Copies of this chain bind each other. A is one copy, B any other.
């Protein structure tokens, strides 16, 4: 099977979001052992003017959701951005995975040259072709927020290794 727009996007988003969920589960387990409130993680930041953990997870979910919706010309579900606990953030990941599972591969295939216009910052938009958008915007942006979420947990003492990020629950199996 040759590589396609769906094979180069959907499995990446699915696997990486499942691995992110696994990292959140490890953060909850870590807090339980150390007897602190796991939801302290929701607000942690790497710099005072950088988005907190909850936003990193939200944007990672939205990067996957919007990439698939925009490439496929499909309506994406709206999320409220009001998660205040790790359980709620895990539910958002689950809802994103549900949406990804609902998208048929052939809805994305052949869309390399479709024009995609999307907001960047407050009052600006950018237009890119489907494949350029996937490789130069959607994927880098998605991995940026997943890795920053990982880095925040790691920086705050959760026992994570790169295998948790790359292969998720199988890492400890």
Contact = CB atoms under 8 A, between A and B. Distances in A.
A139 interface: yes
A53 interface: no
Contact of A139 (B7, B50, B139, B144): B139
Q: How many copies does the complex hold?
A: 2
A140 B147 CA distance: 9
A162 B165 CA distance: 21
A131 B140 CA distance: 18
A173 interface: no
B131 A50 contact: no
A131 B165 contact: no
Contact of A166 (B140, B150, B154): B140
Interface residues of A, number: 36
B137 A166 contact: yes
Interface in A1-32: 1-5, 7-8, 11-12, 15-16
A12 B135 contact: yes
Contact of A136 (B11, B147, B151): B11
A171 B96 CA distance: 30
A154 B49 CA distance: 10
Contacts of A165: 140, 144
Interface of A: 1-5, 7-8, 11-12, 15-16, 46-47, 50, 110, 112-113, 131, 135-137, 139-141, 143-144, 147-148, 150-151, 154-155, 157, 162, 165-166
13 contacts: A3-B4, A3-B131, A8-B135, A12-B139, A16-B140, A47-B154, A136-B166, A137-B166, A139-B143, A140-B166, A144-B150, A147-B151, A148-B151
